[in-house]
């Protein structure tokens, strides 16, 4: 049949699923224009169909060539609701009534495909369960060499059941609801806040021998409130979103000939390759940053009644034993440092996952770089930009974590009454033309070192992505703006308490960094897209 100068095939309504229906329609060239002689021009190809869908006026984004290729292949992939709409326009030959009929037919065919997939998975599971429950059959071969077969099977089983810290850590980010991990971190910080109220150290002041009265309460410490209640949950949320995008979408689009199970196995192999990194980070965070730091900073000073560290909520029992007892202080600080060490292990595990994503993308792109068509290049550029955008957000949040840690450490050795007043006084003293000139006391500040490790680690991941994933010319300005923000924020971190007025530079950098979390491209994305569209046309 002919409709609007194109080949029209009415919906068959014969109960076929999407794959079967699409295969027939592509073969007859349904929706293709008739030739000059009035005869069909031939079947659809992925290139022709992708081009036809992209030329629909109301379809501004077009469709990916790789997505269309998946429709032609024998796999478990169906079609998204948005693409069903455009495919119905093609098969309906731009006729409203025919398009509506084809839309209903394609939706029903997609539903049948999903149902068929679900039934096949259930059948496979039931078969596997039956086989696993059945007793092993003994054959002549088994009787001749039973020991070797049993030993080999048991070895395989042991390998499969072997504990993998890397895979367990990755599962915390990829399995279950994306809200689980951020909510757990927030809940832990909230629980510590309530406990600080119960034990009486939520908001406390003490007078130093030099007459300075300082606020050292738990809830006034940004490295225990702002860090664990805002920054880390946001960091984990971004990592989870980026990991889901890479595993479930981007990786499948780049590796055309691999199905979802093969892609999952390849990704799991990449994660296991970082096992030593996970164990190294785990030991450092739990044993060194957790146990040893708690012993040196809290336990020993509390037991001896003195120390070389500035008095904080963790050691207030030394100077105010009537406020909280030493045993209770030891228990509360132990719980706090245990929570802190676990959180920072997860923080570094998130950075390792970001590095894994960048390295995986870099290896895959080495295999597909030879594909010259514009659609592939644009798709890869979009994927690289989205990944770099997520890594940039994580880097900014990581450096802000380091900033909150160093601010609290510097404040405890300063002459400020509380953190907010200290920063405002530093800012106003320079703006008023009367620099304070006061020097910090010579306390030992291990948090300065640990915060530096956090800041450097966050920046290293961004630099690795910056070098491994070069963007197209129209997106390079965006990448350089991101690098400038990271560099400015890192410089402001290094200069905390280095001179009078450091808070002005820090405030500007933090405001710029917070804005960049919402708009990493700084309004450059739309201009780059327009430039890219003009160059393609």
The predicted-structure confidence for 269-286, as pLDDT tens digits, reads as follows 999 999 999 999 999 999
- Quick check: pTM over 0.75? no
Of residues 389 and 60, more confidence is placed in: 389
Mean pLDDT of 247-257: 78
Helix 232-245 vs helix 326-368: crossing angle, to nearest 10: 30
Residue 525 has pLDDT above 70, yes or no: no
Question: 264-280 burial by CB neighbour count: b if 16+ within 10 A, else e?
Answer: eeebeebbeebeebbee
User: How many C-beta atoms lie closer than 10 Å to residue 50's C-beta?
Assistant: 22
Distance between CA 127 and CA 125 in Å, rounded?
5
Phi, then psi, of 7 in degrees rounded to 5 = -75, 120
Tell me: pLDDT of 132 over 70: no
pLDDT at 362 over 60: yes
| % helix, strand, coil for the chain, step of 5 | 70, 0, 30
Residue 397, CA distances (Å) to 143, 296, 403, 459 in order: 62, 28, 10, 10
Query: Which has the minimum average pLDDT: 220-234, 332-346, 357-371?
Result: 357-371
Please spell the DSSP secondary structure of 300-321, one letter per residue.
Answer: HHHHHT--SS---TTTGGGT-T
pLDDT band of residue 142 (cuts 50, 70, 90) is very low
For the stretch 391-416, pLDDT in tens is 999 999 999 999 999 999 999 888 88
Cα(124)–Cα(293) distance, integer angstroms: 52
Across-strand partners of 3? 6
pLDDT number for residue 139: 42
Tell me: pLDDT of 147 over 50: no
Beta-strand relationship, 2-3 and 213-215: unpaired
- The rounded radius of gyration (Å) of the Cα atoms in the chain is 30
Tell me what the mean pLDDT of segment 114-127 comes to.
70
Cβ burial, residue 384 (10 Å; 0-12/13-18/19+): buried
426-445: average pLDDT: 71
Report residue 493 CA to chain centroid gap: 24
CB 173 within 8 A of CB 353: yes
On the question of pLDDT at 130 being above 70, the answer is: no
3-class state of residue 214 by DSSP:
strand
Pairing mode, if any, of strands 213-215 and 205-207? Answer: antiparallel
pLDDT mean over 424-438: 76
pLDDT number for residue 146: 47
SS3 224: coil
Q: Which residues contact 267 (CB under 8 A, 6 or more apart)?
A: 247, 251, 360
Residue 154 confidence (pLDDT) above 70: no
- Please check the confidence at residue 83 and state whether its pLDDT lies above 90: no
Contacts of 466 (CB under 8 A, 6+ apart): 388, 479, 483
CB 304 within 8 A of CB 260: no
Range with the lowest mean pLDDT among 43-52, 156-165, 332-341? 156-165
Instruction: State the chain's mean pLDDT as an integer.
Output: 83
Residue 532 above 70 pLDDT?
Answer: no
Is the pLDDT at 137 greater than 60, yes or no?
Answer: no
């Amino acid at each position: 049949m002919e409709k609007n100068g194109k080949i029209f095939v009415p919906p068959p309504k014969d109960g076929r699923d999407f794959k079967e229906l699409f295969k027939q329609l592509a073969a007859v060239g349904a929706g293709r224009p008739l030739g000059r002689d009035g005869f069909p021009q031939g079947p659809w190809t992925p290139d022709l169909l992708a081009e036809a869908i992209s030329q629909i006026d109301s379809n501004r984004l077009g469709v990916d060539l790789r997505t269309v290729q998946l429709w032609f292949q024998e796999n478990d992939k169906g079609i998204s609701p948005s693409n069903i709409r455009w495919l119905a326009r093609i098969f309906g030959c731009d006729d409203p009534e025919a398009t509506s009929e084809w839309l209903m037919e394609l939706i029903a065919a997609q539903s049948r495909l999903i149902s068929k997939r679900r039934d096949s998975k259930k059948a496979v599971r039931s078969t596997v369960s039956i086989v696993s429950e059945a007793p092993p059959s003994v054959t002549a071969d088994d009787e001749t060499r039973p020991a070797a077969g049993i030993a080999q099977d048991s070895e395989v089983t042991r390998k499969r059941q072997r504990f993998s810290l890397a895979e367990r850590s990755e599962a915390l980010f990829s399995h279950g609801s994306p809200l689980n991990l951020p909510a757990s971190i927030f809940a832990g910080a909230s629980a510590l806040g309530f406990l600080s109220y119960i034990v009486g150290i939520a908001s406390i002041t003490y007078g130093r021998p030099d007459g300075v009265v300082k606020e050292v309460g738990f809830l006034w410490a940004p490295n225990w409130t702002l860090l664990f209640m805002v920054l880390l949950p946001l960091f984990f949320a971004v990592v989870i979103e980026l990991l889901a995008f890479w595993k479930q979408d981007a990786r499948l689009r780049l590796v055309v000939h691999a199905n979802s199970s093969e892609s999952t196995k390849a990704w799991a192999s990449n994660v296991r390759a970082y096992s030593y990194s996970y164990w190294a980070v785990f030991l450092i965070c739990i044993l060194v940053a957790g146990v040893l730091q708690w012993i040196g900073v809290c336990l020993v000073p509390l037991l001896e009644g003195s120390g070389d560290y500035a008095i904080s909520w963790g050691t207030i029992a030394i100077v105010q034993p009537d406020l909280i007892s030493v045993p209770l202080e030891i228990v509360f600080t132990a719980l706090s440092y245990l929570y802190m060490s676990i959180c920072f292990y997860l923080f570094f595990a998130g950075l390792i996952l970001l590095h894994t994503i960048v390295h995986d993308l870099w290896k895959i792109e080495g295999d597909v770089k030879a594909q010259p068509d514009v659609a592939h290049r644009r798709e890869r550029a979009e994927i690289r930009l989205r990944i770099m955008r997520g890594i940039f957000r994580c880097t900014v949040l990581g450096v802000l974590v380091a900033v909150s840690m160093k601010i609290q450490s510097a404040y405890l050795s300063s002459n400020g009454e509380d953190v907010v007043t200290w920063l405002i006084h530093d800012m106003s003293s320079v703006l008023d033309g009367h620099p304070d000139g006061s020097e910090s006391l010579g306390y030992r500040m291990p948090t300065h070192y640990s915060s530096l490790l956090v800041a450097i680690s966050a920046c290293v991941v961004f630099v690795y992505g910056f070098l491994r994933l070069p963007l197209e010319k129209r997106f390079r300005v965006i990448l350089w703006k991101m690098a400038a923000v990271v560099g400015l924020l890192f410089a402001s971190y290094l200069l905390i308490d280095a001179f009078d007025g450091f808070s002005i530079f820090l405030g500007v950098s933090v405001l710029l960094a917070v804005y960049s979390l919402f708009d990493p491209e700084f309004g450059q994305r739309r201009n780059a897209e327009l430039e890219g569209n003009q160059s393609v046309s």
